[in-house]
Amino acid sequence: MGSLRLVPILLLLASPALAQTYGVGRAPTAAELAASSITVKPDGEGLPPGHGTAAEGAKLFVEKGCSTCHGEAAVGGVTAAPNLKAPKGPEVSAWDRGAGSNGIPVKAPYATIAWDFIRRGMPLGNEGTLAPDEVYSLTAYLFAINKIIPEDQVLDQDNLAKVKMPIGNEWAPVPGASRDWKSGSPRLAGYPY
């Protein structure tokens, strides 16, 4: 009886449903996978090797044209591009620093977010052209002017994710950030609307 009960399970394991079912598409080469893998996880996995400093970043901020939109001191006001240096410092909550439209870098819960944002989205019109060292330097510059790291700190693939961000735990994850989320989960427990 017990062994009979196992039969359907064994059939299921042997069925092609668990293997690749249609064989459509092709396997990527290792080089293709590496090229398309630009995800950087909050714990730093996926960061390419490299390093940079705020001093180097300050130079790049002008050379790469960042200052054209964000202003020479990164305080904004030139175009619609946001202020990147918060008017207020660590004496107030990350939410109250008045840092411009999206609040990166002071509101980013993970340092990797700022790094990823610069690599993907900047500079305007030349997105994706910055070398890893340049992205580390620009990140270090933005963190230093917002007093998130010391001015002389070298940021690299090993210490970036360890940077303590000013927002701390003062932010609320969306419901789908939980592994327990299901399609049938309510939008907000106890909310009738």
Applying CB under 8 A, does 162 fall inside the site for another protein?
no
Asked whether position 69 contacts another protein by CB under 8 A, the answer is: yes
Query: Degrees (nearest 5) of the Cα angle 53, 129, 51?
Result: 25
Near another protein by CB under 8 A: residue from 77, 128, 150, 168: 128
Angle in degrees, 0-180, between the axes of helices 132-145 and 54-63, rounded to the nearest 10: 110
Residue 131 has phi, psi (to 5 degrees) of -75, 155
Which of these segments, 19-27, 50-58, 139-147, 148-156, binds another protein (CB under 8 A)? 19-27
Q: Residues 54, 81, 111, 145: which binds another protein (CB under 8 A)?
A: 81
Among 4, 8, 125, 164, binds another protein (CB under 8 A): 125
Q: 66, 147 in Cβ contact below 8 A?
A: no
Q: Measured between alpha carbons, how far is 32 from 124 in angstroms, rounded to an integer?
A: 26
Give the separation between CA 180 and CA 184, rounded to whole angstroms: 11
Quick one: 62 or 129, whose CB is closer to another protein? 129
150: its two tokens? 């010391």
Contact residues toward another protein (CB under 8 A) are 17, 19-22, 24-28, 32-33, 36-39, 41-43, 69, 79-82, 95, 101-104, 107-110, 112-113, 116-117, 120-121, 124-125, 127-128, 170-179, 181-183, 186-188, 191-193
